[in-house]
Structure 1
Amino acid sequence: MNTFLFVHGAFQGGWCWDQITPALQQKGHKVVAIDLPGSGEDVTPPQDVSLKSYVKKVVSTIEKIDQPVILVGHSMSGMVISQAAEEIPEKIKKLVYVCAFVPENGQAVSDIASGGPKATLNEKDQSLTLIKEFIADDMLNESSEEDLRLFKRNIRPQPVQPFEDKVSLTNIRFGHVPSVYIETTKDRSIPIDLQRQMYATRSFERIYTLDADHFPFYSRKKEFVECLVDIAQPQ
């Protein structure tokens, strides 16, 4: 049995993994899906949220689990799982990047990203709110209407500061944690060319390819779970 720890991307919460959790549990795996600070049901004010607070939440969760975890990060949380691996590499069995940012040492999301989803800035609390009219075309372009409604119903404003905070990574710690990447070829949020440019910067054990949008756990649920089950197999 493996323990998967899922870390959601921007604007979301642990709820985004609900539809693929039962299939993994049926295979005998344990699933933990957290809310990052200021996301999901967490009430931390956006202006108090940083990459450091994200990483602290992930690390504290991992430290309560009695075996090394398969740490899965979606989109923005590629930054989070990378920094967590720097902090406690011995507690992470494998890193799984799901159409996620792959940072080099000293980079922030804002150093890598080009464009991104359309959102409005609230300067008072330093958060971004998605413009819902563009979500279907820009983010869930291969997902069902039901999943689109679910997504719109649950999203929250995204704190800005984690996009500006830079990671601090070393080869001797972060660089020694085995990693895989799940690329999504119909992604309009982090286009496939950018995904491939990023994952070419480090050595991944394997690249999985899904004909999916930015949310393969919606648009390609079965195939996504199959990737995770394969990743969990002994090497």
Structure 2
Amino acid sequence: MHVSFVGAGPGDPELITVKGQRLLGEADVIIYAGSLVNPALLSLAKQGASIYNSASMTLDQVIEVMEKATERGQKTVRLHTGDPSIYGAIQEQMDALDKKNISYEVIPGVSSFLATAAALQREYTLPDVSQTVIITRLEGRTPVPEKEKLALLASHNATMCIFLSVHMIDSVMKELIDGGYHQDTPVAIVQKASWPDQKIFRGTVSTIGKIITDAKIDRTAMIVVGRCLDSQYALSRLYAPEFGHMYRDAK
């Protein structure tokens, strides 16, 4: 494998996987998403590695760097924020490499929606509250399929993690209300989860818009909506003494 797509994790350099860290340290060429990836991760690069910030590059330029590195027999790491399979735009890169017969691998990473749960110290899938997590975004420059409009997804009243939408917070909340979330449904917004300057904001569907606008939060923030943030819940049956399974007899 000459090209490795590596999930950098949500920001904390210690949240990259062991494999991702090793590949980053072995890479001759590193192309990182400079607008999102914590630059502290570049300290893991070996001396002499060529480093490119893809924030100022086009897709063709990124592929050209990979192709030339492969021709030289060099290892390339394409470093994406979080997990590269979620809003990472890696499919178009992989398809371009396929056309050039360049082999690659994908190394998963810790997504920001998971780092957000850790920052909030909440479980998304509470018994009797929600057993479903919807990962989505509000329509912007990238269109959303008609059946995935936010209001339609909101009709499930499940736990919802909304990417790339905090700059449209009022529109997000309107869609959620139109879809069926009650105005007192709790909302938490975490900016730069796991970074040293992480910020947490809490409110409800009806109040969070003003809170975020007043705080001037308009990027790199995850929106979490759902009763998992403040509800009473049932204990897991997995650890109930009367619940038996292959590893433990019921009492």
The answer to whether the superposition gives a TM-score over 0.5 is no
The structure having more radius of gyration, on CA atoms, is 2
Higher relative contact order (CA 8 A, sep 6+): 1
* TM-score in terms of structure 2 length: 0.30
* TM-score in terms of structure 1 length: 0.32
